[in-house]
Structure formats: C-alpha cells, structure tokens
Chain A
Amino acid sequence: MQNYSIFSLVKNAFSNHQDWEVAWKDPEPKKEYDVIIIGGGGHGLATAYYLAKEHGITNVAILEKGWIGGGNVGRNTTILRSNYMFDANAHFYELGMKMWEDLSQELNYNVMYSPRGIINLAHTDGQLNAYARRGNSMRLNGIDAILLNREEVKKMIPFADFSDTCRFPIVGALMQPRGGTARHDAVAWGYARQADSMGVDIIQNCEVTGFDVENGKISGVRTSRGEIKTKKVGLCVAGSTTLLADKLNMRLPIEAHVLQACVSEPVKPLLHNVVTFGAGHFYCSQSDKGEMVMGGDLDGYNSYAQRGNLPMIQHVLSGGLAVFPNFSRLKMLRSWGGIMDMSMDGTPIIDKTHIDGVYLNCGWCYGGFKATPSSGFVFAHTIAKDEPHELNQPFNLDRFHTGNIIDEKGVGPKPWIG
C-alpha cells in the first residue's frame, strides 16, 4: 500500500494526481471467509481492521448493502467524548478517547481529530450540582473534567445569552477538555484503506438476504451476490439490526428512530468548542469549513426513513437560539436524518448470541461515532476469542433479563422520550 506523506503528495502533484493507487479494491466475493462482517460503516470497518491487526485474522469480508460510510458514520455530528458517570460506559468510551489521539498516525490517514473541548451548559444550581457529581465520577475514573463557573463560560463563549432576562440563564458548565470532533468520512475511509491493505475484502452493493444456520451454528450467509460460507458473522448494521435479527429469529430490545442533524451556511470562526444546551436538547460545533453543525432530539416516533420532519428541526433550533441568539440570522444549508438503533436502556449491546458464531454489535442510540475505534477493538476481540473483552462484558444482551441494565440517562424503556 502506498504511504500517504508530504513526499507522496509532492510526487503525485507532478502527475496531476492521476496516478494515486486506489484506496481500497473492489473484489468479487469469495466462496468462503473465516469471518464476515455485515455493515460497512465505521464500526464494521474498524472491526475488520482490528481483526486483521490484533488477531491476525485476514480472511475477512465486509458486506455492505450500499456504499461504505453511507450510513450513520456519514450522518452524525462528529462529536467525541467520554463524559459518562457509570463505570462501564466511562471505561469503554475512555478507551475510545485514547485511541482517537493517535488514530491519524495509526491509519496513515488524517481523521482531523480536534480535541477542542466539550462544554455541557448548566442552567440551574441543581443541574450544576449534578454535573459536579458526574465530573467527580469521571475524574475518579481517570477522565478529564472541569467545572466552570458562569464567568469562565462567558470567557469561552461570550456570544451566548448572558443577559439578565434570558429564560435559561447559564450558571456554569461541565467541560471535558479532551472531548472534541473528528472528520467522520475520513474515519470510515481510513479504516477501510488499512483493512483492505491487510487482506480484508470490502464488498459493496451486497445485501444480506438470509442466513444458513445448522444445529444452532452459523454456516453461511445468503446475499444478493450469491451464497458465502463462513463460521463467524458479526452484525454491525445500526438501524437495520432488527431487520437482520428477524432473519435469525432473534427479538431484540431495540427500536429504530430517526435522528436529524443540520448545518448552517459557513461563517468565520466563532465557536471554538462543542457546546450542549442544558435546558433542552441542542448541541453545536463549528466545522473546519465554518458551518455550524447542529443536532438534538429524535423525531419521536419509530422510523426507518433516513429523513425526518421539520417540526423537530424547528424545536431543536429554538433551543439553540435560546442559548445563541446571534444564530438567528444564519441561513440553513442542509438537514438529514439517520436511523438510530435505540436500545431500551440507552447503552450499546456488544455480545455473542444464542446462535454459535453470530455476534451482535448494536444499540448505539445517539452516540456510536465516538465509539468507532473502541467498538471495533472490543468487537474484534469478542469475535476472535469467542468471548467478550472485559470492557464490553457489561454490554451483554442478557442484562435485560438479569436486571443489570446501564441506564445512564435514567429514561427507562421509552427511547423516544430520551
């Protein structure tokens, strides 16, 4: 594989950039693979990469119904953070934060990791107390967290509404300075390129239509491009999880919901951090192109449509204007939706299943992007060793029967409310 560097850039400039190697091949599916990963999104590509790199399993295929990176990894708001209170979440997402720090070097692909800090605004004393508690829990788990008072927040985002008459006064904030953003497409492409270079077959336009299960053991998958034999299958299909699980007679604690995001026209540098509004559901960061990248609530009803409705955009942006009144004159550039695999406790599921050789990676709710490296890492371990990594052991499927649910937000089994 061609190494990307300043020298390769200069060299290819002489040939008008016509002679770059393809970043990944477009192979025909083979008759048999050791492992098949379904879903060519961030998690699937990362899983294949770590299977090859950490476990030496390179006879792997990624089957993608559309094109790689066309689902949620290309539709999110690119936020990275590990500001969780519960131990299971804190340890898992913190592994991800550490992996983001040198991911560009590891993949030889600039994922534009930007630890610009994430600021969760507090609007009441009670909320600030709760944030202090969360920050203390984070610090006990070795995660960076600082509590900001009103004046400190004002220095960082002076254009927010600090007036005496505003409906939701900012009383302080919890900040994770290492939180930030990364270029979402680059993450998918970087993992794809490295996985491909180690022998993984990335097979696009290949829809899985069924599974061959014999005596409780997987033996192959049926696809729109023929039957493929395998001993192990990993599902990384986010919002489509139930559709594939149905083919395996597996009922899951998952509902599909549409989450929208939107960007404004590009403007000069203004917002230097990721900011979340604490009195509603609104979060915002400014992209390197200058667009304000904004998101908020689910549309609020079960949906498999990768598009939402305007009332929710209006609701989210009205929250945004409550904190940033000067955004009112921004023109909106575009909005889009992605299908969230909302688990019933708000926490992902990374586990084996009742079928030998079928592994499940789903339930990412709002927050799958930041977990791309750590999810791929522990899921590859789960598949290769046929047992969970210690970090995803708490994310087992059985927790909905044992009672060990991880309900960080305390919403209960009604994902559309959260």
Chain B
Amino acid sequence: MLEIKCPYCGKRSQNEFAYGGDATVKRPNLGEEVSTKDWDDFVYYRDNPRGKHTEYWHHVSGCRQWFKASRDTATHEIFNTSSLEEEL
C-alpha cells in the first residue's frame, strides 16, 4: 500500500488517489507553430525512467485536487509531493 501525501489533506492511503501520468510532458502552447513530429512526441513518446519520476496524482476520493509527486519507479518510494504551481 502506498501512502501518498496530498499537499492539501496530508497523508492518505493509495486507495483515495488516481494516477495522472508523467508530469514532465508539456503540451505545446496554444497558437504556437508546432511540427507534426513534436506533436506526436507530446502525445506518444515518454522518457519512462527507472528511478525518479515526476508524475501527476489526483486526490479523487478526497479533496479532488490534482498535484505533483516525485516517486521512484524501481522502489515505489515517494520523495515529496507539491501543488501544481510549486516546484517539486
């Protein structure tokens, strides 16, 4: 069981959260000229690291806020979490 610290509610069990994927993936800005390759990279291509991974979680059965977490994909250790605006 993962214990995840929601930046708003504190430590809660994994059951209250939904995963939101790699948080380093950036959508190209609206109105920006973007090549097909860059767009495809954004949609499909991932760094998929073994080790520290920055990712989105959603406290879906709690305060319903999205936030960021830094977690190890090999050990599942969660280093820290932060709101979307803060630096991790």
Contact = CB atoms under 8 A, between A and B. Distances in A.
Q: Do A and B come from one complex?
A: yes
A303 interface: yes
Contact of B73 (A303, A309, A344, A401): A303
Contacts, number: 69
B88 to A, nearest CB: 16
Interface of B: 1-2, 13-15, 18-19, 21-22, 36-37, 40-41, 43-50, 53, 55, 71, 73-76
B23 to A, nearest CB: 11
B59 to A, nearest CB: 14
B22 to A, nearest CB: 7
Given A305-B73, A305-B74, A253 B44 contact: yes
Contact of A254 (B1, B46, B75): B46
B37 A401 contact: yes
A400 B40 contact: yes
B53 A302 contact: yes
A348 to B, nearest CB: 15
A414 B19 CA distance: 10
A256 interface: yes
B72 to A, nearest CB: 9
Interface centre among A254, A301, A303 (most CB of B within 10 A): A301
A304 B19 contact: no
A72 interface: no
B46 A253 contact: yes
Main SS class of interface, A: mixed
Given A243-B50, A311-B15, A400-B40, A305 B76 contact: yes
Main SS class of interface, B: mixed
Given A301-B55, A305-B73, A309-B1, A255 B48 contact: yes
B14 A302 contact: no
A345 B15 CA distance: 27
Nearest to A400: B44
A252 B44 CA distance: 8
Given A302-B22, A304-B74, A256 B45 contact: no
B46 A255 contact: yes
A296 B47 CA distance: 26
Nearest to B14: A311
A310 B36 CA distance: 41
B54 to A, nearest CB: 10
B1 A256 contact: no
B71 A304 contact: no
Contacts of B37: 401
Contact of A416 (B1, B13, B21, B71): B21
B76 A344 contact: no
A344 B22 CA distance: 13
B48 A302 contact: yes
11 contacts: A242-B48, A242-B50, A243-B50, A252-B46, A303-B73, A309-B1, A311-B1, A311-B13, A345-B44, A401-B36, A416-B19
Interface in A161-219: none
A84 B1 CA distance: 35
Contacts of B44: 253, 344-345, 400, 413
